[in-house]
Amino acid sequence: MKTAAYAGDRTIQIADAEPTAPEAGQVQVAVAYTGLCGTDLHILHGNMDARVARPLVFGHEMSGTIAAVGDGVDGWTVGDAVTVMPLAWDGTCPACLAGNSHICQNLDFIGIDSPGSLQGLWNVPAETLVRLPAGIRLDHAALVEPVAVAVHDVRRSELQPGQKAVVIGGGPIGVLIATVARHFGGDVVVIELDPQRRAQVQELGFATLDPRAVDQVAWVEQWSGGAGADVVFEVSGAAVAVLGATALAKVRGTIVVVAIHPTPREVDLQRVFWRELRLLGARVYQRVDFETAVELVADGVVPADALITRIVALADTQDAFADLEAGRAMKILVDVAGAR
């Protein structure tokens, strides 16, 4: 089978590998599609070199079908359509014992800390499988993982129907957060610098702001009747966005930090104090988020065709990253099955 692996120095290696049979408690998945995401870009840029082994077969946004079932695994059959919730926790650390196993202090994020889905046949723990409903397209199903991120972010914010939500950053996760927030009843505006992405977001029916052309604080105040936004999602990863996010939130509003910030950022703590703001982190997802995400994709709530810019061959993974980095694509999927 073919694999794509991060080899260091911003290099992706395409190689042949011999598949191994699933061990007891594992299931072997024939990977159909793998989505490329911002975390993968962080890996490619070397930001996670202290964490990842190299070469690393990465990838964690995926869909596929079961190819083989290991000993001791019940409830799964060869041919079942699945996606994978790529988290393996130890169950013994303080976070797990407190009921927060999704952010286990010794978490194995599969595809980062251990081999991921950019390979034809992928062995994973059976408990990470999430069943896909009959009839769902496997290319659409590769979006379930990032949709689960968005569901978790919105659930974490406690956004209520009718409330105002500002999403800073109109990339894939920003668009998905906006989509989920709107589906849950929120009134949403997306702040985005790039005109192409801003146009794509507008085509999906969202109000957008260009912060270079509009005073975003004044706009949000007018939009919210002078109060400010109930919830602000910081998805851009930009230092200036973090510094400005607190100015957009209402008294006792909530700011949710979604983006991965590789370095510490300045935060306007005076504003946090003055308006009694809540500043929350939102990382990965829980099982309920994944199950909700499957429903949203299957029901067509998520505009999958609009979000998937194109599907590329495994051999073209390196070039696909160049397009993502340059902002020339919203979401690119890798056709892993085509390389087997």
Contacts of residue 81, defined as CB under 8 A and 6 or more positions apart, other chains included, come to 63, 64, 65, 131, 132, 134, 136, 138, 141
Positions marked active-site:
39, 42
pLDDT of residue 178: 98
- The H-assigned helical ranges of 187-316 are 195-203, 216-223, 239-245, 269-274, 287-298, 304-307
Pairing mode, if any, of strands 2-8 and 11-16?
antiparallel
Verdict on whether the full-model pTM lies above 0.85: yes
pLDDT in tens, the chain (340 residues): 999 999 999 999 999 999 999 999 999 999 999 999 999 999 999 999 999 999 999 999 999 999 999 999 999 999 999 999 999 999 999 999 999 999 999 999 999 999 999 999 999 999 999 999 999 999 999 999 999 999 999 999 999 999 999 999 999 999 999 999 999 999 999 999 999 999 999 999 999 999 999 999 999 999 999 999 999 999 999 999 999 999 999 999 999 999 999 899 999 999 999 999 999 999 999 999 999 999 999 999 999 999 999 999 999 999 999 999 888 899 999 999 998 6
SS3 of residue 164 by DSSP:
strand
Q: What single letter denotes the amino acid at residue 247?
A: A
> How far is the CA of 24 from the CAs of 20, 57, 71, in angstroms?
12, 22, 4
78/68 Cα distance (integer angstroms): 6
Distance separating alpha carbons of residues 66 and 82, to the nearest angstrom:
7
Q: Which pLDDT score, from 0 to 100, does residue 339 have?
A: 82
